[in-house]
A = this chain, B = another copy of it.
């Protein structure tokens, strides 16, 4: 994946080749075993084999690197949700499937999921964000409500709240991270006013 563009065969000296990508990749790996609070620029630099401050040639500060990781994370979430939705029959099942995927993604990548939402600059750009995950939420919701914009918006927010809350409470060990529980909560969530 990391290839130096020039003819020289991966000269390991001084210039790295593509330090930025390498840092992001290392960051994603680190997030599998490291909590957000314990993420360290210096450690990442060590992992990549570069001096501590080299990072600052590619990111203005730590926050910027974290933001890049979060951005990559929200991408992966969208892809994962899309894959999950493709295997279901009706549209209501579709919607539920993306919700289940949301929670399962959170449980599978806890630190990454948290990171997505711990950027003060919302990387999940409110519900009008331009990422795949947000788009899917909008589309599925609109299809379920039949298109009425106000109802669609309400459904989006309510559905998002349920899965987000469930995910967070499970991540924070307030609820057991139980697959059956996810299904039960989502299946019995009737999101329409009577």
Q: Nearest-CB distance from A38 to chain B (Å)?
A: 11
A185 touches B122 (CB 8 A): no
Given known contacts A165-B161, A190-B193, A174 and B122 CB-to-CB distance under 8 angstroms: yes
Question: Which parts of A162-184 form the interface with B (CB within 8 Å)?
Answer: 162-169, 172-176, 181, 184
- List the B side residues contacting A189 at CB < 8 Å: 158, 191
* A118 interface residue (CB < 8 Å to B): yes
Contact (Cβ within 8 A) B117 A175: no
Residues of A within 8 A of B (CB): 37, 117-118, 120, 122, 124, 126-127, 154, 157-158, 160-169, 172-176, 181, 184-185, 188-194
Q: A160-B165, A160-B169 are in contact. List 12 more A-B contacts (CB 8 A).
A: A117-B169, A117-B172, A122-B174, A124-B174, A126-B175, A126-B176, A127-B175, A157-B185, A160-B175, A161-B163, A161-B185, A162-B162
